[in-house]
């Protein structure tokens, strides 16, 4: 689904999740998928290397 949403955009996709442990895991998963698709991320970590906040 993330790939489909990304391809429907021009260059920006905003994903919002609740501030829960499950929401955080979904954000990290979406982040990995978008980076693999060639997107540049701004949050939660503004780089393409693994998120240092991920336990």
Count of other CB atoms within 10 angstroms of residue 5 = 13
Question: Is 44 contained in some domain?
Answer: no
- How many structural domains are present in the chain? 1
Report field, pTM of the whole predicted structure over 0.75: yes
Question: Is 11 contained in some domain?
Answer: yes
Domain range spanning residue 9?
A: 2-36
Question: Is 51 contained in some domain?
Answer: no
Question: Is 42 contained in some domain?
Answer: no
Question: Is 41 contained in some domain?
Answer: no
Q: 45 exposed, middle or buried (CB, 10 Å; 0-12, 13-18, 19+)?
A: middle
Question: Is 7 contained in some domain?
Answer: yes
Q: Do residues 17 and 43 touch, judged by C-beta distance below 8 A?
A: no
Q: What is the pLDDT of residues 4-55, one digit of tens each?
A: 999 999 999 999 999 999 999 999 999 999 999 999 999 888 888 888 877 6
Percent of the chain that is helix, strand, coil (3-state, to 5): 40, 0, 60
């Amino acid at each position: 689904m993330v790939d489909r949403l990304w391809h429907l955009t021009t260059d920006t996709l905003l994903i919002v999740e609740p501030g829960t442990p499950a929401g955080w895991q979904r954000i990290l998963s979406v982040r990995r998928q978008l980076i693999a698709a060639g997107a540049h991320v701004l949050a939660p970590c503004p780089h393409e290397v693994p998120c240092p906040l991920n336990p």
